[in-house]
């Protein structure tokens, strides 16, 4: 295992539910540190750029609309095996399919409003961290 960084976003639904602290505790309790953080209302073009890989998907418009519906908490998480560890803590994309005890099982309502984003691989983590925290250097290994 290696020390990695990954991008996490607490989405508008979870911010509105006032569970930022509870979600961050999951990260901290599992050995992930917050290397950078910013609370922000994304612009439409920022959200579109971030989710550009999903541009052709039928849900893209709704996803962007949801992501700009309220402020989000954007974080770079750092720790051993951070990328997969965060994905495991998050649970499946559809909260109804997420393992009990995961963030999405506990805090999310639907596949659209699913509480958190997390990078899915080292390549996407590097791109996503650079997108929101351009001055933060990314561990390559």
Applying CB under 6 A, among 117, 125, 126, 129 the residue interacting with ligand IDP is 117
- Binding window for ligand IDP (CB under 6 A); candidates: 15-23, 24-32, 36-44, 114-122: 114-122
- Binding window for ligand IDP (CB under 6 A); candidates: 28-36, 38-46, 78-86, 109-117: 109-117
The beta-carbon contacts of 48-56 under 8 Å, at least 24 apart in sequence, are: 49/131, 50/128, 50/131, 50/132, 53/124
101-140 residues in contact with Mg ion (CB under 5 A) are 120
117 flagged as catalytic: yes
- Binding string, residues 41-80; x marks residues near ligand IDP by CB under 6 A: -------------x----x---x-----------------
Could you please report the per-residue DSSP string of 66-122?
Answer: HHTSS-EEEEEEEEETHHHHHHHHH--SSGGGSPTTSHHHHH--SSSS-SEEE--SH
Measure the CA angle with vertex 133, ends 101 and 117; round to 5°.
Answer: 25
Of residues 117, 118, 122, 126, which has the active-site annotation? 117
In the bound complex, what is the minimum distance in angstroms from residue 119's beta carbon to Mg ion? 8
In angstroms, the CA 91 to CA 100 distance is: 8
Contacts to Mg ion by CB under 5 A: 120
Mind telling me the catalytic residues? 117
């Amino acid at each position: 295992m290696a020390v990695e960084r990954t991008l996490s976003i607490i989405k508008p639904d979870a911010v509105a539910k006032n569970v930022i602290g509870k979600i961050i505790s999951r990260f901290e309790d599992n050995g992930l540190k917050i290397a950078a953080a910013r609370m922000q209302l994304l612009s439409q073009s920022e959200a579109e750029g971030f989710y550009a890989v999903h541009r052709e998907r039928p849900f893209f418009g709704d996803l962007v609309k949801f992501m700009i519906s309220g402020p989000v908490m954007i974080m770079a998480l750092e720790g051993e095996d951070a990328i997969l560890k965060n994905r495991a803590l998050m649970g499946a994309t559809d909260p109804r399919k997420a393992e009990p005890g995961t963030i999405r099982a506990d805090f999310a309502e639907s596949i659209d409003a699913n509480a958190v984003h997390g990078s899915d691989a080292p390549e996407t983590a590097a791109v996503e961290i650079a997108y929101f925290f351009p001055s933060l250097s990314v561990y390559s290994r």
